[in-house]
Amino acid sequence: MPSERPPGDRMIVEPAPAKLNLALHVRRRRDDGYHELETLFAFVADGDVVTVAPAERDSFAITGPFAGGLVSDAGNLVLRARDRFVRDVAPLPPLAITLDKRLPVASGIGGGSADAAAMLRAAARIADVAPSDPRVEAVAADLGSDVPACLLGRTAFGSGRGEALRVVNGLAGRPVLLVNPNVAVATAPVFARWDGIDRGPLPVRDAWRVALDGRNDLAVPAKSIAPVIGEVIDALDRLEGTVLVRMSGSGATCFAIFGDHASLHAGAEAIRGAYPAWWCLETALT
């Protein structure tokens, strides 16, 4: 039986799962313009997909239900990740890159950051470099505050801008429903409307207790920009079997964690029936 060809000679399919902030505490605005955060990152089983294949020349295509909301030029985070990897880590051969965009754009679930992280993981495989290589991690941190967490892809407490990570366990398998009212919310305006009040750190407890007892300090400013977020939260709160309902990141995606999969499915059907224009995804924490 012939041996498998090395990673640089074959197609790589790299998942880019959605990121959730189960809790997000904003502590202060830093001198560098960023905000000091304490957050609990988690990931779900579904998201975008980045496919990379050897080619005669570089190319980039975007497919999927949310392809129309993205640019396919050098401003896209996937291409920026590729170019920064080549500049700072290792050379790459010509690649045909396809982004299957399944997550809403500017929705608080790390879509662009997850896509960039998936590209970095694929590039690392091709170049035979570990994703945990400090050079790769440095590129991730420069690309965006959520990219290091998405590169890691595991439940973790995040601090600093979100790039200082501590892995935790105990949340995998919990059923979760993601709902977005098909409204894009840019991150910078939400942070700009934060009232500047430090409401305290994340509690020092196990991950699930932190999720339950935490909060999202960006929910109020996000609702001031997109009031429909409040409607989503209220709709999720009315569902049977939920154990946690919250907005993720800077919005507008909200999530409900359920006690069991039957309640998840019933809740999703209720949302689809009452709000057919909203995007919703039945999935689970990983």
What are 130-186's pLDDT values in tens digits?
999 999 999 999 999 999 999 999 999 999 999 999 999 999 999 999 999 999 999
pLDDT at 2: 37
Q: Are residues 144 and 275 in the same domain?
A: no
Using CA of residue 222, residue 184, residue 213, residue 158, what is the dihedral sign?
Answer: negative
Question: Are residues 202 and 235 both part of a single domain?
Answer: yes
Q: How far, in Å, CA of 22 to CA of 116, rounded?
A: 21
In which band, very low, low, confident or very high, does the pLDDT at 8 lie, cut at 50, 70 and 90? Answer: low
State the sign of the Cα–Cα–Cα–Cα dihedral 60, 125, 157, 236: positive
**Which residue, among 212, 216, 208, 210, has the nearest Cα to 173 in the 3D structure?**
208
pLDDT category at 235 given cuts 50, 70, 90 is: very high
% of the chain residues with pLDDT over 90? 93
> Catalytic residue among 115, 146, 217, 223, which?
146
pLDDT at 7: 56
Contacts of 206 (CB under 8 A, 6+ apart): 168, 170
Residue 173 in contact with residue 179, Cβ under 8 Å? no
The number of residues in the chain equals: 286
Position 120: which residue type?
L
Count of structural domains, the chain = 2
Same domain? For 252 and 271 the reply is yes
**Mean per-residue pLDDT, 217-244:** 98
In a domain, 79, yes or no: yes
Q: Are 92 and 85 in contact (CB under 8 A)?
A: yes
Residues of the domain holding 123: 7-167
Q: Are residues 184 and 69 in contact, defined by beta-carbon separation less than 8 angstroms?
A: yes
* 43 and 126 share one domain: yes
Same domain, 132 and 108: yes
Cβ-contact 23, 210 below 8 angstroms: yes
Asked if the model's pLDDT at residue 3 lies above 90, the reply is no
12 and 149 fall within a common domain: yes
Q: Is the domain of 48 the same as that of 127?
A: yes
**Which is nearest to 280 in space by CA: 179, 183, 200?**
179
- Summarize the confidence of residues 191-210 as an average pLDDT: 96
Same domain for 125 and 17: yes
> Other CB atoms closer than 10 Å to residue 31's CB: what's the count?
6
Question: End of a domain among 106, 140, 167?
Answer: 167
Active site residue 19: yes
List C-alpha distances in Å: 102 to 17, 65, 86, 146. Answer: 10, 6, 27, 18
Q: Show the DSSP H helices in 10-133 as ranges.
A: 77-88, 111-127
Last residue of a domain, one of 141, 167, 193: 167
- pLDDT confidence of residue 40: 98
Shared-domain flag, residues 113 and 133: yes
Amino acid (one-letter) located at 285? L
Q: Are 251 and 270 in contact (CB under 8 A)?
A: no
Q: Is residue 1 assigned to a domain?
A: no
Q: Same domain, yes or no, for 97 and 52?
A: yes
* Per-residue tokens: 31: 């001198």
- Which candidate in 19, 46, 100, 115 is catalytic? 19
Whether the predicted pLDDT of 231 surpasses 60 = yes
> Closest Cα to residue 219, out of 234, 209, 204, 239?
234
Q: Is residue 2 part of a domain?
A: no
